[in-house]
């Protein structure tokens, strides 16, 4: 999967760190995707997978587990996904990604919308992550320039940027 495809897939406005782990998908098999706390945020994710010919009920299945957001429930949900087992865990936000990280060192984890993956202990480097985690980040050290670079690559005509802050 190329980097730009990855960013589009996740619908992220931030930067992606390189894909270090991939879910293996053999023809004829159903890939199981584990999601902790389903929400409308995942609609674009599922839509993009459909566009990539991953059709629910045919060659992909989603395993959803809901939690109250507490660390104990997040850990329990992540552990349950590992027990299924799923082929990949996708986690929105740092607490879910960290729970998935605690649950498995082998199943690929896609961590989405992470503030600072290095500070969170998910990866040691954005450029060269190791282990079974990949994903994107929304804010973090050295990210501003990368975001602008991605923006310029995607939309070369962009010349005026407004920053709303408090």
Partner 1 sequence: MATADILEDLRKATPLFQMALTSLPARTEVDFDRVFAQMSADRPDVGTYSRMRVSKLCESAGK
Least distance from partner 1 to the Cβ atom of residue 68, Å: 20
Three-state secondary structure call for residue 51: helix
Binds partner 1 (CB under 8 A): choice among 26, 27, 58, 157: 157
Strand-pairing partners, residue 35, are: 64, 90
* C-alpha–C-alpha distance, residues 11 and 103, integer Å: 26
* C-alpha–C-alpha distance, residues 74 and 35, integer Å: 11
Least distance from partner 1 to the Cβ atom of residue 116, Å: 7
Least distance from partner 1 to the Cβ atom of residue 85, Å: 34
Three-state secondary structure call for residue 98: helix
145 binds partner 1 (CB under 8 A): yes
* C-alpha–C-alpha distance, residues 160 and 143, integer Å: 19
Binds partner 1 (CB under 8 A): choice among 7, 61, 76, 143: 143
Whichever of 28 and 165 has its CB closer to partner 1, that residue is 165
Name the site residues for partner 1 (rule: CB under 8 A): 13, 115-116, 138-141, 143-145, 147-149, 151-152, 155, 157-166
């Amino acid at each position: 999967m190329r980097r730009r495809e990855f960013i589009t897939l996740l619908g992220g406005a931030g930067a992606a760190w390189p894909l270090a782990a991939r879910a293996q998908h053999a023809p004829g098999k159903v890939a199981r995707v584990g999601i902790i706390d389903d929400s409308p945020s995942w609609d674009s994710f599922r839509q993009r997978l459909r566009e990539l010919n991953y059709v629910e009920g045919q060659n992909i299945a989603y395993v959803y587990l809901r939690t109250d957001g507490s660390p104990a429930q997040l850990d329990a949900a992540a552990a349950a996904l590992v027990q299924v087992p799923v082929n990949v865990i996708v986690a929105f936000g740092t607490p879910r990604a960290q729970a998935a990280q605690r649950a498995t060192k082998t199943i690929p984890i896609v961590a989405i919308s992470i503030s600072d993956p290095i500070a969170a202990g998910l990866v040691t480097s954005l450029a060269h992550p190791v282990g079974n985690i990949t994903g994107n980040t929304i804010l973090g050290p050295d990210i501003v320039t990368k975001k602008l670079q991605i923006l310029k690559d995607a939309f070369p005509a962009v010349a005026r940027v407004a920053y709303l802050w408090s």
